[in-house]
Chain A
Amino acid sequence: MSDTFFTASPHWTWWILLYFFIGGIAGAVFFLAAMLDLSGVASRESRVARGEPVSPHHRPASPVVRLGYYIAFLGVLISGFLLTIDLSRPLRFWHMLIENHTGRPMFKLWEPMSTGAWALLLFGLFAFLAAVAALSEDRPNIRLLQSAPVRLLRRPRLSAIVAVLGSIFGLYIAGYTGVLLAVTNRPIWADSHLLGLLFLVSGASTAPAALILLGARRLAADRVSLNWLVWFDHKVLILELLVLIVFLLSLGSVARVFLDWWGLVLLVGVFGVGILVPLFLHSREGTQTIASCVRIAWPVLAGGFLLRMVLLLSSNQIHVVGSGVTGR
């Protein structure tokens, strides 16, 4: 029996599950939006090189990019809220960042929960800056959004810095949650090194789906971005399938914990609905219409949620009681 079976469950349940799901989407959506954004910058530079007229002080972001930044910022806000209410003492949330006795910064490089708290804060900052810049384009009639500091955010170089740094922290947020679970002594979580990678890839597959669902109207008018998102999602789903299989193999004998209802959810919900069905729809329907893309996005999102649910809750049911272990 794995030594991880003798531990107690931290009872991270629904709030944390929602955080893992929403935080993963927020981080990866920012990354996708930033990639589109930076690609736009690159296009702009190539236009400059070709001698075409482009404003030197303005970086127009596409409607899809702007939507991505809004989703990321909203996701960060929700994530922070979910993490706070999950604490047994929510009003002490700031103890994650500041030592309450000394007032000094609280940071442990070797503890993902500590680095994650700081990463979420910094990702929130970049998501906020990107969202403000996007809003200033969407709402030109609001005077505050046309002030000098906001205009500065729309300068090509600064917006590129925000996009790159925000992407790094976004991908960190999407993946560190799996590493956080691995840095415990709990069954399943600590029995593989691939949970962080799996969560990251899953976040990257659910993010295009979320962007397609929430931005169907904007994407209908931007076929090129839509095609890229669908292409990216298709490739990442294949990657996710491979990583999930290798992850299960890496669990060894611990994988027997899935010989119950959780295994059924994993098989039907995650493998079937979340990965194989979308891949089948990709090959059959392609991306002919926005409606077909939306049809593919729903099961991808459901699969991403179920993946986290299975991995989080199946471990929670195993705990040491009496002189033995229950829930095996």
Chain B
Amino acid sequence: MSSGAARQRDSEPAVRAQQPQGLTPGTPSWDSSSRVQLKPSSAATLAQAPMGLYTDTTVCIGCKACEVACKEWNQLPATGGGKHEMSGDSYDNTRQLDGIHWRHVKFIEQFSEDRTDGRWLMMSDVCKHCVNAPCLEVCPTGAIIRTEFDTVVIQSDTCNGCRACIGACPFGVIGINDVSNVAQKCTLCYDRLQAGMEPACSQACPTDSIRFGPIRELKQQAQARVEQLHERGETRAYLYGADDKFLGGLNSFYLLVDQPEVYGLPVNPKMPTRNLIPSSLFSTAGAMVLALLAMVGLRKRRMDERAGEDREHV
């Protein structure tokens, strides 16, 4: 059971034009200088097709420009008020995605014991804006919505911080922002999209590791890149989340060159409601057994009571 029928990638957004309150889409021109060379003429045109991000991890250099741009544009606070300790985990001091970290560059060091051979894997992680979004499905207040761009946004004025979305997200993306005290995550720069701009992270990326655009076009670019890498001998390259094998597809998908677990990604992320019906059936059966047990006991009790009364009469 789910909040709606499972949707297919590239279909129309399920909850089109469900606008966050207080944010009105304008009709500004699209930034034609964008490196991704997408030229929809207005935000209205943008809304015609699902938009998203394609991250090619093979060209990520770990500069963290995306993290900085995200923090700056979204005015996200620093960890611990700026008093941050080094993690000791490679160059990764961000550590995780949460309410104040909407971008996280992961550093995976794959080296031999003597460090004579090896490679770096770097990946800029973000909310996947799932086509069938678990967070949206379980949010009990309706705070999480799908926008006209087919992205998933948390409305801060509705969220009450119950944290159901945090446990439901298969990627560990969402967290409570200690300043606003509500659950927050990447909005795919919803405000910028409404103004016809691309998200801050993709605009800041100096290597085009992060690309923004209509999902259909991004998939074509990504597939071409995979074929190019295969031709060059990197046969491990594949796309994660570009098809609809899980969660109906991801509106932020990745080109990876190792198993998903190596990047801290689940192999087969699932909807949380998959457990609803079997769990409910077991519980209902249990409740019936308890009721039956109680009635059997009470019948025994009544018979004992009657036997006691009979003894008194005798």
Contact = CB atoms under 8 A, between A and B. Distances in A.
Contact of A8 (B161, B169, B270, B286): B169
B87 to A, nearest CB: 7
A11 B176 CA distance: 10
B140 A325 contact: no
Contacts of A42: 302
A68 interface: no
A245 interface: no
Given A88-B160, A96-B140, A183 B264 contact: no
Interface stretch (A140-148, A229-237, A268-276, A280-288): A229-237
Nearest to A325: B264
Contact of B160 (A89, A183, A189, A235): A89
Interface string A172-201: 100110110011111001100111110011
Nearest to A167: B291
A37 B132 CA distance: 47
Interface in B153-170: 157-164, 166-170
B95 A111 contact: no
Contact of A106 (B92, B142, B278): B142
Contact of A320 (B21, B90, B264, B267): B264
B279 A179 contact: yes
Residues of A contacting B: mostly: helix
A110 B170 contact: no
B312 interface: no
Contacts of A96: 140-141, 160, 162
A120 interface: no
Given A8-B172, A108-B140, A110-B1, A88 B181 contact: yes
A318 B234 CA distance: 34
B200 interface: no
A9 B96 contact: no
Nearest to A189: B167
A31 interface: yes
Interface in A31-81: 31-32, 35-36, 39, 42-43
A235 B293 contact: yes
Q: How large is the interface on B (under 10, 10 to 19, 20 to 34, 35 or more residues)?
A: 35 or more
Contacts of A228: 297-298, 300-301
Contacts of A231: 297, 300
A111 B269 contact: no
Contacts of B108: 323
A110 B282 contact: no
A35 B298 contact: yes
Contact of A183 (B138, B262, B293): B138
Interface in B113-170: 123, 134, 137-143, 157-164, 166-170
Interface in B291-314: 291, 293-295, 297-298, 300-302, 304-305
Nearest to B125: A323
A10 interface: yes
B143 A95 contact: yes
Given A8-B166, A167-B291, 10 more contacts: A8-B175, A95-B141, A96-B160, A100-B157, A106-B141, A111-B164, A196-B279, A224-B301, A320-B172, A322-B89
Interface of B: 1-3, 21, 87, 89-90, 92, 95-98, 106-108, 123, 134, 137-143, 157-164, 166-176, 181-183, 261-270, 272-273, 275-276, 278-280, 282-283, 285-287, 289-291, 293-295, 297-298, 300-302, 304-305
The 3 A-B pairs at the shortest CB distance, nearest first, are namely A88-B161, A92-B160, A8-B172
30 contacts: A3-B270, A8-B173, A10-B167, A32-B294, A88-B162, A88-B181, A89-B160, A92-B160, A92-B161, A96-B162, A110-B273, A111-B137, A111-B138, A111-B273, A117-B140, A178-B279, A184-B168, A185-B169, A189-B167, A193-B275, A197-B279, A200-B283, A200-B287, A224-B305, A225-B301, A235-B293, A236-B293, A320-B96, A323-B92, A323-B264
